Amino acid sequence: QVQVVESGGGLVQAGGSLRLSCTVSGLTFDHHAMGWFRRPPGKEREGVSCINWNVGSIVYRDSDKGRFTVSRDNANNTLYLQMNRLKAEDTAMYYCATARKVYCSDSWSEADYDYWGQGTQVTVSS
């Protein structure tokens, strides 16, 4: 049984930082690219970042480039998202997902991901 569990969310002031973690069990972690998504209040879920199995390529949403850093520890089946200079518009539920392939796709299609966590809430106060 595959389990995906996010942690590290919380309440932070604008300009602050948070580090999200995602642990995965029940599958071969380094056989999958990994993605971060988020759902802002009242909006659709959107892609945030994707990292290939071997960290060879990383994709970020344009609005997050330079502020967010994704990384992974294949030895410990863990994905991370370091978020700096947070803004009020970063407020959302953040989700981790396992990609169906080892490489990130060219789009943010959720159909490219198969296992999802329950999410961790990030709230940025202005």
The predicted-structure confidence for 22-66, as pLDDT tens digits, reads as follows 999 999 999 999 999 999 999 999 999 999 998 767 778 777 878
- Of 56, 43, 61, give the one whose Cα is nearest residue 107: 61
> In a 3-state reduction of DSSP, which class is residue 111?
helix
CB 22 within 8 A of CB 34: yes
So what's the pLDDT on residue 11? 98
In this predicted structure, the answer to whether residue 7 has a pLDDT above a threshold of 80 is yes
In this predicted structure, the answer to whether residue 108 has a pLDDT above a threshold of 90 is no
Mean pLDDT of the chain, nearest integer? 94
So what's the pLDDT on residue 62? 77
Q: Tokens 């198969």 belong to which residue?
A: 114
CB environment 18-52: b (16+ within 10 A), e (fewer): bebbbbbeebebbebbbbbbbeeeeeebebbbbbb
**Helices then strands (H, E): number in the chain?**
0, 11
In this predicted structure, the answer to whether residue 120 has a pLDDT above a threshold of 80 is yes
What are the tens digits of pLDDT across the range 71-86?
999 999 999 999 999 9
Residue 58 CA: distances (Å) to CA of 34, 41, 55, 79, 126: 10, 26, 7, 13, 29
So what's the pLDDT on residue 78? 98
